[in-house]
Amino acid sequence: MAEFKMDADHPGIAMDRGVQGVLGVGLDRSEGALKVSGTARYGYEHRVEGDVAYGYLITAPAAKGTVTGFDADAARALPGVIDVMLDDPRIPRQAAAFGPAHAGNDAIDHWDQVVGVAIAESFEAARAAAKAVVVHVEREQGQFDTMANIAHANPPPRDSRLQDVAKGDIDAAMAAAHAAGGVTIDQVYTTPNQVHAAMEPHASVAVWDGDQLTLHSSLQILAVAKPMLAKAIGITADKVRILSPYIGGGFGSKMLGPEAVLAAIAAQKIGRPVKIAMARAQLFHNIYRRTDTNQRIRLAADKDGKLLGLAHDSVVSQCPDGGFMEPVALGSLALYDAPVRQFTHKVVTLDMVMAGAVRAPGEAVGTLALETAIDEIAEALGRDPIDFRKLNEPAVDPLTGAPFSTRALVECLDQGAEAFGWAKRSPTPGQRREGEWLIGMGVAAAVRINLLVDSEARVTLKPDGRALVETDMTDIGTGTYTILAQIAGEALGLPMESIDVVLGDTDLPPGAGSGGSFGAASAGSSVALACEDVVAVLAERMDAKPEDMTLKDGHAVAGNRRVPLGDLVGAEALVGKGKISQGSNAKTFSQAAHGAQFAEVAVNVVTGETRVRRMLGVFEAGRILNAKLARSQAIGGMIWGIGYALMEDAVLDQRYGQFVNHDLGEYHIPAHADVPPLDVLFIEKIDRHANPIGVKGLGELSISGAGAAVTNAIYNACGVRARDFPLTLDKVL
């Protein structure tokens, strides 16, 4: 098994020496045709042997209280109904049930909580039965209001990812700034509850073979899902196999849903395969949300524009024992230099579904506030917001003093300003008008921490010269199949059509899974390292050192010999194994990806409507594995930015603890007509300290800062400042 420790003297890996020329190229995704032709099967679509039954989840009509009983006789008597399961103690009563176990009691912890499942011969019959069950509840008054309970907020749990930081005295820094003729900002910014709203709902098909469970589903990280599922249904993990070859969107939500647990329990009980998809409204209430946030930001700068102090204090919400805490200040930790720094986090406990990870936990909502505040202080100083950011660019990590691995924030700002035509922006709001539209430009910085997690892969070079890449890594729609083939192709000197990639099966070596923007770096490194094993054997058979051998177009070349790879392999396939470990990146360096976001908007002076006219994102995220797929990732994040700036808001009915807009008709996300031409530029810097393949996390980087660029542009257009997100037209007028 090839492993790796970051080391400056390392001679480099085969992928670096590759001359095949497939790495980095903007190839189409290899499974694209399967997806657009409907051939790729998603969670609900898997066909299994046997007589499949359909399930529909039964939920309780209260946010807090107790289930006192059920009337299910009418439901059981409906045609086609096989079973109505309400009493299995393993029914997960809280989306967080796989963490804090609320299973098996009668307490209701949040609105629309799952209490059972109806099983029938058809989806329609199961749904009719589920709706015919009367769930009797004793309601209690719940607490759903974060903002009203800020005074009762508590410090984060001790194991929280982000601990409080206090370096110096922020009040003293604010006073010092005033005394020296500088300026200060002290503002509160709020963001609402948000949901993942993945196009594909959570869906699973469960099949038992004796005591062996196979689950076909749509899950991001199988190494997390498998033990969770085993624990929830009371079997050992070795009895579980999960298949998740395609995922119709996840954004953090597809870890394990209640439908998977109930499909497994029901299939076991009735002795038939069972498939269950969650309804859209059930997703809004049973799959975790992104917490609402209350963020106080204080900035102090001297009259020359140097930051003297920066404080980012946040309050978020969570259910009791929720575990996760939105790391709101994550993006603020090292973005700007300031001698005085304070980051605090508090949490209000609510009777709501668990708050969990949604695309770019921390930075996505933290930078909405921080990058607005930075725009505000630049404005107060009479400085260009790009100049202000450059003036406060840290030379080393301002929190730890560690050098940055790669950091190109200033280059991103400069190249973006040039490409976007920033010089044409009027520094004063309200100066550009076209009929009833006011036009403005805005900028914001983007940042995302870089992570590396455990990941293993197997690469098999076969006697016919073809390679097979295998890992239980997933492709969440980002192009994992394609980039892993590109990595193997570059390392082994094979064209793309000679490589097969199999993913999303727990029988394969455990991979990183998709999440936290660690997927490409982690799984990609494991594949590159597995290729090292294979290359070492090929070199031996060529009587050459690996670095003296060239692999191209399915041939090995060393000295004056050129041999087809299949001939070198011989009768028995060559198997390489690669493993990257969480701790193997260089901890002595501060690692993050950065970018600069630019937006131009038009604001209607009559209606308050905002139209985003164009956007540009310039990003540095280490090596770019596939120019086209990287661009698609970046565009996806920027579109989320438009949504967070202008639309997304899960509106809570404070009487019942229910999201009133629990469908995609009323929970607004940007549609095609809302998204203008988006431009993306990459500044490629191979990060030798991050991982063997020099990649940094990209997926979540581009959501960071994108919303603030839009609302800063609105300020530049019409002088209205966004502090209460989203900035809907009623707030603009």
Closest to 406 (Cα-Cα) out of 463, 447, 460, 361:
447
Nearer to ligand MOS among residue 118 and residue 219 (C-beta): 219
Nearer to ligand MOS among residue 220 and residue 344 (C-beta): 220
Packing angle, helices 706-718 and 363-381, rounded to 10: 30
Shortest distance, position 346 Cβ to ligand MOS, whole Å: 22
Nearer to ligand MOS among residue 251 and residue 404 (C-beta): 251
Shortest distance, position 363 Cβ to ligand MOS, whole Å: 11
Q: Which stretch binds ligand MOS (CB under 6 A): 14-22, 184-192, 248-256, 370-378?
A: 248-256
Q: Which stretch binds ligand MOS (CB under 6 A): 29-37, 82-90, 250-258, 584-592?
A: 250-258
Shortest distance, position 225 Cβ to ligand MOS, whole Å: 13
What is the DSSP annotation of 635-655?
A: HHHHHHHHHHHHT----EETT
What residues are paired with 307 via a beta bridge?
301
CA dihedral 518, 520, 523, 528 (to 10 degrees): -130
**Is residue 170 within 8 Å of residue 343, measured between CB atoms?**
no
Nearer to ligand MOS among residue 515 and residue 617 (C-beta): 515
Structure tokens at 226: 């498998």
Give the ranges where 205-310 is alpha helix by DSSP (H). Answer: 222-233, 258-270, 280-286
Instruction: Pick the binder of ligand MOS from 258, 273, 305, 361 (CB under 6 A).
Output: 361
Q: State which of positions 112-171 bind ligand MOS (CB under 6 A).
A: none
| Half-sphere exposure for 456 (CA within 13 Å, toward CB) | 12
**Is residue 515 within 8 Å of residue 475, measured between CB atoms?**
no
Shortest distance, position 518 Cβ to ligand MOS, whole Å: 8
Instruction: Pick the binder of ligand MOS from 252, 617, 643, 697 (CB under 6 A).
Output: 252
Shortest distance, position 220 Cβ to ligand MOS, whole Å: 6
- Report the alpha-carbon distance of residue 52 to residue 529 in Å, rounded: 41
Shortest distance, position 685 Cβ to ligand MOS, whole Å: 23
Nearer to ligand MOS among residue 510 and residue 513 (C-beta): 513
Shortest distance, position 361 Cβ to ligand MOS, whole Å: 5
Burial (CB count within 10 angstroms: exposed 0-12, middle 13-18, buried 19+), residue 665: exposed
What is the DSSP annotation of 720-733?
A: PPP-BSS--HHHH-
Q: State which of positions 163-222 bind ligand MOS (CB under 6 A).
A: 220
The position carrying tokens 């399915």 is 554
- B/e letters for 109-145, b = 16+ CB within 10 Å, e = fewer, are bbbbbbbbbbbbeeeebbbbbbebbebebeeeebbbe
Single-letter residue type at 513: G
Q: Is 288 in the site for ligand MOS (CB under 6 A)?
A: no
**Is residue 474 within 8 Å of residue 523, measured between CB atoms?**
no
- 31, 371, 532, 700: the catalytic one is 700
Q: State which of positions 36-95 bind ligand MOS (CB under 6 A).
A: none
Shortest Cβ contact with ligand MOS: which residue?
252
CA dihedral 473, 479, 481, 484 (to 10 degrees): -80
According to DSSP, residue 543 is labeled T
- Report the alpha-carbon distance of residue 111 to residue 247 in Å, rounded: 27
Nearer to ligand MOS among residue 250 and residue 257 (C-beta): 250
Nearer to ligand MOS among residue 135 and residue 228 (C-beta): 228
Q: Which stretch binds ligand MOS (CB under 6 A): 299-307, 351-359, 460-468, 494-502?
A: 351-359
Nearer to ligand MOS among residue 255 and residue 413 (C-beta): 255
Nearer to ligand MOS among residue 359 and residue 577 (C-beta): 359
Shortest distance, position 202 Cβ to ligand MOS, whole Å: 14
Sequence-distant (≥ 6) Cβ neighbours of residue 64 within 8 angstroms: 108, 109, 110, 139, 140, 141, 142, 351, 657
Rg, Å, the chain Cα set: 27
Instruction: Pick the binder of ligand MOS from 53, 357, 438, 445 (CB under 6 A).
Output: 357
Q: How far is CA 337 from the centre of its chain?
A: 27
Strand locations in 302-366, DSSP E? 307-318, 340-349
**Is residue 474 within 8 Å of residue 480, measured between CB atoms?**
yes
Single-letter residue type at 728: T
Report in angstroms the alpha-carbon separations of 302 from 386, 387, 395.
17, 15, 19
- Report the alpha-carbon distance of residue 166 to residue 102 in Å, rounded: 36
Single-letter residue type at 730: D
**Other Cβ atoms within 10 Å of 707 Cβ, number:** 33
Site string for ligand MOS, 390-409 (x = CB under 6 A): --------------------
Q: Which stretch binds ligand MOS (CB under 6 A): 155-163, 315-323, 353-361, 687-695?
A: 353-361
> Residue 31 catalytic?
no
Q: Which stretch binds ligand MOS (CB under 6 A): 198-206, 256-264, 355-363, 490-498?
A: 355-363
Nearer to ligand MOS among residue 515 and residue 657 (C-beta): 515
Count of residues of this chain found to bind ligand MOS when the rule CB under 6 A is applied: 10
Nearer to ligand MOS among residue 250 and residue 322 (C-beta): 250
Q: Is 250 in the site for ligand MOS (CB under 6 A)?
A: yes
Shortest distance, position 405 Cβ to ligand MOS, whole Å: 21
Structure tokens at 213: 């469970």
Instruction: Pick the binder of ligand MOS from 272, 359, 696, 721 (CB under 6 A).
Output: 359
Q: Which stretch binds ligand MOS (CB under 6 A): 249-257, 522-530, 536-544, 571-579?
A: 249-257
Instruction: Pick the binder of ligand MOS from 251, 284, 659, 715 (CB under 6 A).
Output: 251
Report in angstroms the alpha-carbon separations of 451 from 427, 537, 623, 672.
38, 31, 15, 32
Q: How many residues does the chain have?
A: 733
- Report the alpha-carbon distance of residue 709 to residue 445 in Å, rounded: 8
Shortest distance, position 503 Cβ to ligand MOS, whole Å: 16
Site string for ligand MOS, 217-246 (x = CB under 6 A): ---x--------------------------
Q: State which of positions 468-527 bind ligand MOS (CB under 6 A).
A: 515-516
**Is residue 708 within 8 Å of residue 331, measured between CB atoms?**
no
- Report the alpha-carbon distance of residue 547 to residue 531 in Å, rounded: 14
Shortest distance, position 513 Cβ to ligand MOS, whole Å: 9
Shortest distance, position 330 Cβ to ligand MOS, whole Å: 12
Nearer to ligand MOS among residue 703 and residue 708 (C-beta): 703
Nearer to ligand MOS among residue 542 and residue 701 (C-beta): 701
Burial (CB count within 10 angstroms: exposed 0-12, middle 13-18, buried 19+), residue 607: exposed
Instruction: Pick the binder of ligand MOS from 162, 358, 378, 678 (CB under 6 A).
Output: 358
Q: Is 331 in the site for ligand MOS (CB under 6 A)?
A: no
Report in angstroms the alpha-carbon separations of 116 from 97, 219, 220, 235.
14, 22, 25, 20
In the three-class reduction of DSSP (H, G, I as helix; E, B as strand; rest coil), residue 555 is classed as strand
Shortest distance, position 88 Cβ to ligand MOS, whole Å: 30
Catalytic amino acids? 700
Interface residue list for ligand MOS (CB under 6 A): 220, 250-252, 357-359, 361, 515-516
